[in-house]
Amino acid sequence: MGVRLGVLALQGDVSEHIRGFRAALGQVGEEGDLVIPVRHPDDLTGLSALAIPGGESTTISRLIQKNGLYEPLLQFKGGIFGTCAGMVLMASRVDDPRVRTLGLLDITVKRNAFGRQKESFEADISVTGLDSPYHAYFIRAPVATRAGDRVEVLARIDAGIVAVRKGPHMALAFHPELGTDLRLQRMFLERIGIQKPG
């Protein structure tokens, strides 16, 4: 029986995250089919980790509460991997009162830091722990404007902080699930104790 991962499947690029984590698990010798969509509290049972995908953070926040997931997510013992809207939801503070954050990371986040969809862009960025630049896709992306002392900043661009981690949690302002570079998924898996033998 391999590790089980979940992807919060309320809104956003869910299938891309499932595909990316299945591929990353395959690279470390785990069964890739043990990545499941999560829509209800019972779906969290037995999971080692959860991804919160990009999408519309206000919508995902509302659906988390509607589906009775807010408290179960706060109590979830596994690692959480948040991208774009996921980063917003993991923050302790955000610049939009419509978003009820989970407060999992001591960061302040600015939503849509670059403007509308047409301001989306790609960039090669340096990420702590990676030996070469990472090609990142920023789509209506947030940035963190502040990170607490216990939060490790993994990447910055001129506009602000775009990758952080603390303990088993990792949050990214961009979309690793849209490319084929699985190094950040692998980094997250290592943080929760899943890595290639030998």
* Alpha-helical regions (H) of 38-193: 57-66, 70-75, 85-90, 183-191
Angle, vertex CA 130, rays to CA 126 and CA 131, nearest 5: 95
Catalytic residue among 84, 122, 169, 190: 84
Q: β-strands 134-138, 121-125: how paired?
A: antiparallel
The answer to whether residue 119 is catalytic is no
To the query of whether residue 122 is one of the catalytic residues in this protein, the response is no
Q: Decide the pairing of beta strands 91-94 and 134-138.
A: unpaired
Q: Which of 16, 17, 169, 175 is catalytic?
A: 175
In contact, 70 and 105? CB cutoff 8 Å: no
Catalytic residue among 17, 30, 169, 177: 177
* Residues with catalytic function: 84, 175, 177
